[in-house]
Homo-oligomer: A and B are copies of this chain.
């Protein structure tokens, strides 16, 4: 008569936590933090809702863990390509800009996550600190790349000027990232990347147009 109890498999804590975090990120992107209810998250992760509390003592905990996971992921995605390059500072700067303006960094889901978390980031001290750390890391990295590229080109500038340039370049990148995520169909493939390199180049007075890839 009544349905039998649900079958289940034990998973390692790491796998389960990861699955719950990924389900959370998906639902936060789609419905916002409040719309990502524990019941929906459990369903998305294919478990029952009680299990969430077994791994995270509260929904808040899960949200914070998901946010941190996402931030680390995004940081890796943009910073790693620049680090992987052996070449000149100019080439590393190009790689940084390109990575920041290419999917999956530029993506509606990525923008939606950022927007959904903003409220919590502004109010929760823990998340605020996490956010400011990430932002400072990005801008400092960009400023270092700019300094190196200037050095390479035998150009000089004051500290204030470098700060100014880093803020401006960061703004171009953020703005293009925002627009690419908000209106994904408004730009051709590679268009944002090209506009970004052009604009950052203009601001810095450096030519950042990529040379043709060698075959």
Residues of chain A whose beta carbon lies under 8 Å from any beta carbon of chain B: 30-35, 108, 111-112, 114-116, 118-119, 122, 131-132, 135, 164, 167-168, 170-176, 178-179, 182-183, 187, 195-196, 198-199, 202-203, 205
Judging by beta carbons under 8 Å apart, are A122 and B108 in contact?
yes
Judging by beta carbons under 8 Å apart, are B32 and A119 in contact?
yes
- B residues within 8 A CB of A131? 182
Judging by beta carbons under 8 Å apart, are A170 and B175 in contact?
yes
Judging by beta carbons under 8 Å apart, are A164 and B34 in contact?
no
**A120 and chain B: residue at smallest CB distance:** B32
Q: Which of B34, B112, B114 touches A35 (beta carbons < 8 Å)? A: B34
Judging by beta carbons under 8 Å apart, are B168 and A199 in contact?
yes
- B residues within 8 A CB of A199? 168, 171-172, 199, 203
Judging by beta carbons under 8 Å apart, are A172 and B170 in contact?
no
Cα of A208 to Cα of B28 in the assembled complex, Å:
42
Cα of A178 to Cα of B172 in the assembled complex, Å:
11
- B residues within 8 A CB of A135? 182-183
Cα of A171 to Cα of B183 in the assembled complex, Å:
13
Q: Which of B112, B168, B203 touches A119 (beta carbons < 8 Å)? A: B112
- B residues within 8 A CB of A179? 167, 170-171, 174
**A109 and chain B: residue at smallest CB distance:** B122
- B residues within 8 A CB of A205? 202
With both chains docked as a complex, state the minimum distance between the C-beta of A59 and any C-beta of chain B, in angstroms.
Answer: 14
- B residues within 8 A CB of A118? 111-112, 115-116, 182
Judging by beta carbons under 8 Å apart, are A183 and B112 in contact?
no
Judging by beta carbons under 8 Å apart, are B175 and A195 in contact?
no
**A116 and chain B: residue at smallest CB distance:** B119
Q: Which of B32, B111, B167, B171 touches A34 (beta carbons < 8 Å)? A: B32
